[in-house]
Structure 1
Amino acid sequence: MSLNGKMSKIVNVAGTGTSGSGLEQFSGPWGIFVDNNFTLYVADSGNNRIQRFQLGENIGATIAGNGTPNDLMLNNPTDIILDLDGNLFIAGNDNSRIIRVIHDAYHCVVGCNRNSTSPSEKLNKSYAVRFDSRGNLFVADECNHRIQKFTLATNSCGNSN
């Protein structure tokens, strides 16, 4: 779209327009993220998976959730984002947690302990995730009616936990 509000070209980059579970289909895509290589990541909420589409490809690869060997069970993923190191962060709406995926390994980084007595550690339908320029993670916590900021810990090797 130009600054005067006129559309120059519309291109379908992913999805067939028909709901389904094929690698070229979605069932309720919610969050999207495009990295510096123009790789498209899609939170395919209804299929409980994250799809990755390389530039120019219309058939995706499931990288998290249903159909992956890492056994990561997603329940209504709503948003995804990559950090500066290329780690994938997933907001799981019905899981009420934030998951980090590095290669085929994953672990929970926010909302992990459902028995926690700290209200700030309990998410209730995490909806969206974003990073600021300092690497702080912001989470839209839908049913707790708040936005939370989390500072991810860094270990002695310089890796975040």
Structure 2
Amino acid sequence: MKWNKGATEGIVVAEVHEKENALNQLAFPNGLFVDTLGTLYVTEFRNDRVMRWSKGETQGPAIVGGNGEESGASQFNGLFSLSFDHQRNLYVVDYGNHRVQRFSITIIPGIPASARWAQDGDTVVGGSGQGNDTNKLNAPFGLFVDDDQMIVIADYLNNRIVQWKMGDANGQVVAGGNGNGNRLHQLNSPTDVLIDKETDSFIICDAHNRRVVRWHRRNGTKQGEIFINNIDCWGLTMNDQRYLYVSDGEKHEVRRYQIGDKHGTIVAGGLGNDNNNHRVMKWNKDTKEGIVVAGGQGQGNALTQLDGPMGLFVDTLGTIYVADHGNHRAVHWPKGEKQGTLIAGGNGVGSGANQLYGLIGLSFDYHSNLYVVDCWNHRVQRFSLQ
């Protein structure tokens, strides 16, 4: 129950059931934590899992646990309480296993529907023209922004991954950069990258080498290791339970991998080509068909349409943010809406502060500032939350 200040009655924010384990139910909840966005985190003694309920939602995902009552790294035996440190690592008291477990949790902001961003972007990476110097990019593709506003970019035509600290004039090559090739110290047209906090490593879509590779972040790392082979990787993401999701552009499917799994499980697509439909699809867990959640009204520039959408971000409220590549704009679609809202770009092709040219990816930092990969302007733009 949530009790507002001065209220005489409380509000139910999460349902309690004695023995149920559906995502809209709790069984003997005990530990609680509420963050600054109003998101509720709950430990369940009976279900041995930690649930996250976004403000206003009627169900929450299990972010850790729920894998049986055992002593494995992702299992518990009677959860009792939880807390977070300043780096947003999650700590849980595993009562029956007589231990405290720590988890690195990816915090995705829940951005209010009324949020607005500055229409002029600030160049935070690149912007010095096309090239391979450390202050330049050459057709950047995917990006990742960590909790400390460190920006990591897949520098596609430079065959490298570059890391930029906020405010620095030059980036640091952290993977590849040794020419185009297939040796373990090389990359060949990387398209996406993320940071796995648990292993402190970069996971990279090494597209033209048809592999996913991992490079450790520690100083002195000279080469990567093959994580997944023989896959036409385009994009990737990792959830809070450290399942890796990889899109295969040739097989038109998305696969989910447990760490160490080389084959994965198809979780979306795999039934033929769905290219150039100018839409965003949502696939619920264990379903055979997806649901159109953005676009799907043909190619165009109306707010009901998309033109070659590429990058995607979904916040905890279910709002979808799309890099609308062919329209050179970023749009957002609140959950259940039939049309999007322009949030950046859309002012024609160009290199002005309010213009984009072939945006590929987008992301947000913990303060809800928007970052856009402006591919053919060879830069990353930040649009500040107003």
Q: CA RMSD in A?
A: 2.4
Under a length normalisation based on structure 1, what TM-score does the superposition of the two structures give?
0.79
Task: Tell me which of 202, 213, 218 is aligned to 1:99.
Answer: 213
1:79 is matched with: 192
Deviations 1:101-154 (A, max 9, x none): 11315211111xxxxxxxxxx31x201110011100000111111101110139
CA distance, structure 2, for counterparts of residue 29 and residue 128 of structure 1: 13
Which residues of structure 2 form unaligned runs of 5+? 1-110, 262-386
Aligned to 2:227: 109
Q: Who is 2:238 aligned against?
A: 131
> CA–CA distance in 2 between the matches of 1:49 and 1:36?
22
Q: How much does 1:6 deviate?
A: 5.3
Work out which of the residue numbers 222, 245, 251 in structure 2 matches 1:144: 251
Pair 1:8–1:107, CA change in 2 (3 A): same
Aligned counterpart in structure 1 of residue 204 of structure 2, from 61, 69, 90: 90
Q: Is the 8 A contact 2:243 2:259 kept in 1?
A: yes
Given the superposition, is the C-alpha separation of residues 9 and 99 from structure 1 closer, same or farther in structure 2, using an over 3 Å criterion?
A: same
Query: Is 1:18 aligned to residue 129 of structure 2?
Result: yes
Instruction: Kindly indicate whether the alpha-carbon contact (under 8 Å) linking 2:178 and 2:186 is maintained by their aligned counterparts in 1.
Output: no
Aligned to 2:67: none
Between the two proteins, the alignment pairs up a number of residues equal to 142
Per the TM alignment, residue 84 of structure 1 is displaced from its structure 2 partner at its CA by 2.4
Instruction: Report the residue type matching 2:242 in the other structure.
Output: G
Structure 1 stretches (4+) deviating beyond 4 angstroms? none
Q: What amino acid is aligned across from residue 87 of structure 1 in structure 2?
A: S
Partner of 2:283: none
Q: After superposition, where does 1:41-80 map in structure 2 within 5 Å?
A: 41-67=152-178, 72-80=185-193
- TM-score normalized by structure 2? 0.35
**1:24-44 deviations in Å (ceiling 9; x for gaps):** 111110010011111110100
Partner secondary structure for residue 12 of structure 1: strand
Of structures 1 and 2, the larger Rg is shown by: 2
**Identity percentage of aligned residues:** 23
**Bigger Cα displacement from structure 2, 33-42 vs 145-154:** 145-154
**What is the alpha-carbon distance in structure 1 between the residues aligned to residue 224 and residue 140 of structure 2?**
22
| Alignment check: 8 A CA contact 2:162 2:173 kept | yes
Q: Note the residue ranges of structure 1 that are not aligned, 5 or more in a row.
A: 112-121, 155-161
Q: Give the Cα separation in 1 of the matches to 2:126 and 2:160.
A: 14
Alpha-carbon displacement from aligned partner over 1:8-60 (angstroms, at most 9, x marks no partner)? 65211011251111101111100100111111101000000000101211200
